Amino acid sequence: MLAASATSSPAREGNGDVAVVIDRLSKHFGSAPALQDLSAQISYGRLTGLVGPDGAGKTTLMRILTGLLVPTSGHATVAGFDVADDNDAIHVATGYMPQRFGLYEDLSVMENMRLYAQLRGMDADGHADLFAQLLDFTRLAPFTGRLAGKLSGGMKQKLGLACALMARPAVLLLDEPGVGVDPVSRQDLWRMVQALTDEGMAVVWSTANLDEAERCDNVLLLNEGQLAYDGPPGELTARLTSRSFRLEQVGDQRRAVLAEVLSLDSVGDGVIQGAGVRVVLRADAGTEQISALADRVGAQLKAVPARFEDAFIDLLGGGPGGTSALAEGMPPVELASDVAVSCRDLTKRFGDFTATDMVSFEVRKGEIFGLLGPNGAGKSTTFKMLCGLLKPTSGEAQVVGLYLRRATGAAKGQLGYMAQKFSLYGLLSVRQNLEFSAGVYGLKGAARQARIDEMIDIFGLQPWLSAAPESLPLGVRQRLALACAVMHRPPVLFLDEPTSGVDPITRREFWTHINGLARKGVTVMVTTHFMDEAEYCDRVAMLYRARLIALDTPDALKRSAISDLRPDPTMEDAFIHLVEAEDRADEARSGVAA
């Protein structure tokens, strides 16, 4: 097997089962410490999760372990080789898939693989068997001639993994491999990684998705460059026994209830789960406050098992509050109709390829409407048509009663759009991006400057005003993008994967703003690959192969996935269930047609 050949490589050296030794490691950039006195060990045959908030030092540690950065002090060895003294050997011993993987989008799958083989000093013509193994392992064999730029997000990550495995490394370092990847494609990535660790490879998986971290054998949790926890995720989760609860059947009150829950001194964290609100109490806090709140709103308080995400947030001191300064400063939205967004038989074709096929739905004023689906299902295409950025091949779309075919300019003035691929201007500073957005949306004079100052204050952008967007930490970039999208206080907001790659605390901050805006009557349409975020939505539309295959509340979709094996399914379970059910229906239809 591929992994067996990898771990039998001469690159695997070291101290028994220990693949990586980190000894009092520190890294400074100027006077700023990125890592401080870090010590840990990583074992062969195990999946180690590297987690922490934005700026914790995860990517810096990855780059040191691959020999791309030299530590300021301390030492690290990988497969027995010192990262500073044995740099050439480190490059052979490790496979590295960076956060922004450098695929060449104008080259095919096979051309990318051959190029990376040559970059690793391999004879590309002499490794046909290895290429065949990697293509089979990643299930990319049918797509060798496809340009990398035409691959879905999940397929790009699989190609990145194939290239990282090219030299059969002893230690594989994956920096945020699940970013932008749907649950079905993530299953494939997990399958591949599990096969590698089963055969003895050491795999380090950096992630901001704590559902991913919970599946790791061991977790290194970094915070402000220091090691806050080292051990199995279950041991950290166990610290929160009897501190996690859910307010059941809160229904239409859930956003207001969440805001109130997060204002309680006894509560460290809270999130919406379908028609309920999940609550985590602080250490040594009693249930008196939360029980009184449950009685007042007519909800049932139920103890639930703790999750690793609960423990993560608790270890970092709790989540942000439940009040959005952005929403507080916005007047209530008034619309002539209760329907803010609608589309009927919306279809988009690119040549012979159908990206969106006869999609119809309505979104009510003040509703948070989720658009889910695997990579390439048509979500972003649908968004772009509803924003007036793409002209439909057929069908109609309306925003606040304006037909996008006939009143595109007027409709655009009524919406805010945060694109999936970061949409700021790299040659402009943070302040200049804010000023440009204010001008585009017609803000003038004193009102324009007041709104810019408001965005700077709400999103904490003051320290970054002269910086270019690409130099910002990801969480700060996303705050800037959201600030630009809401600058003109639009009644309709389109958010295309707004929290992709950001840590759970920053995601909670975003959803505090989104919930607050919805309570003011702003209609929010959002796509996400974080299934826990889908729980915040009033309704969810599921797209698959360009078609709408389901439309219901999160709780109803979860109920559809109940089985003997899954008596209490998650949104991820529901997502996979819907895709698999549609695949079976397509097979049945094909059989009848044949």
Q: What DSSP string describes 7-62?
A: HTSTT--SBTTEEEEEEEEEEEETTEEEEEEEEEEEETT-EEEEE-STTSSHHHHH
Q: Is the pLDDT of residue 266 over 80?
A: yes
The pLDDT confidence band at residue 268, using thresholds 50, 70 and 90, is: very high
Average pLDDT over residues 51-72: 92
pTM here is: 0.88
The pLDDT, as a whole number, for residue 31 is 82
The pLDDT, as a whole number, for residue 177 is 85
The pLDDT, as a whole number, for residue 11 is 46
Nearest CA among 305, 244, 299, 306 for reference residue 275: 299
The pLDDT, as a whole number, for residue 497 is 87
Residue 463 CA to residue 381 CA, distance in Å, equals 35
The pLDDT, as a whole number, for residue 245 is 97
Higher pLDDT, 404 or 495: 495
Q: Is the pLDDT of residue 13 over 60?
A: no
Q: Are strands 73-78 and 81-82 parallel, antiparallel or unpaired?
A: antiparallel
The pLDDT confidence band at residue 3, using thresholds 50, 70 and 90, is: very low
The pLDDT, as a whole number, for residue 134 is 87
Q: Is the pLDDT of residue 4 over 60?
A: no
The pLDDT confidence band at residue 66, using thresholds 50, 70 and 90, is: very high
Higher pLDDT, 153 or 372: 372
Q: How many C-alpha atoms does 33 have within 13 Å on its Cβ side?
A: 12
Q: Is the pLDDT of residue 327 over 80?
A: yes
The pLDDT confidence band at residue 592, using thresholds 50, 70 and 90, is: low
The pLDDT, as a whole number, for residue 309 is 92
Q: Is the dihedral of CA 209, 210, 213, 219 positive or negative?
A: positive
The pLDDT, as a whole number, for residue 127 is 77
Determine the length of the chain.
594
The pLDDT confidence band at residue 101, using thresholds 50, 70 and 90, is: low
Model confidence over 366-394: pLDDT tens digits? 999 999 998 888 898 998 899 888 999 99
Model confidence over 102-145: pLDDT tens digits? 788 899 999 999 998 888 888 878 778 888 888 888 888 889 99
